[in-house]
Amino acid sequence: MQSYAIPAVSSAVMARYGNIIFLDRPVHDGDLFSRRHPAMTRLNRAKIFAPFAALVGFDERVRRKEIAYVPKVELDADEEWELNRRLQILHKLTANSRLARANVVYINVEYYAMCTDSENDAYMIKGQYLTVTGRLIKADPHNQELTLMVDGEKKVVRFLDIYQITDPNEELFDINNRQNKR
């Protein structure tokens, strides 16, 4: 175990500085030095030793490099058919504004977002899969996009970027449940 007591002072150091080595800090009361150099507050003394960012923006750049980007997964024929079936159901529920207001639909959409960080190696080559949950405003087959209301803001997702659409209640896309309602 290491001792943190005052280290032993060599005889050469004691001979040279022995008279001042163990003295307290000097106190200046009203002399010329104290008027030119007033005592610092604890806050100002702490600022001297506070860490600073020598490389401005370095932490942000490192954080952006840590994002794991992946190539886009292509859907197989069955997955694509199921996604199109779900998009048709959503379109029928929101074909016009009256239907959209009458059929309040909440969905989860998992979609692919391309890397837009021009300083990253994955820029416009790879991306990441994000999931958003919101109220469906419109499923627009003409513009090929879903419009959702997420946390009070509109979020538009292109059909080509959608990987999966799910219903939080697990009733909306259930084939058996929809046939029983007819």
pLDDT in tens, 67-95: 899 999 999 999 999 999 999 999 999 88
Does residue 5 fall inside a structural domain?
no
Residue 93 lies in a domain: yes
Whether the predicted pLDDT of 140 surpasses 60: yes
Residue 61 within any structural domain of the chain: no
Which pLDDT value is given to residue 175? 75
179 has pLDDT over 60: no
pLDDT-derived band at 114 (thresholds 50, 70, 90) equals very high
Is residue 59 in a domain? no
Indicate whether 129 belongs to any domain: yes
Per the structure, how many domains does the chain have? Answer: 1
pLDDT at site 23: 77
Residues 155-164, mean pLDDT to the nearest whole number: 97
What's the Cα-to-Cα distance from 144 to each of 75, 76, 88, 180, rounded to whole Å? 17, 19, 12, 30
136 domain residue, yes or no: yes
pTM for the model stands at 0.65
Residue 155 lies in domain? 77-181
Alpha-carbon distance of 105 to 164, in angstroms, equals 16
How far is Cα 123 from Cα 176, in angstroms, rounded to an integer?
43
DSSP per residue, 84-104: HHHHHHHHHHTSSHHHHHHS-
Q: Which residue type, as a one-letter code, is found at position 129? A: Y
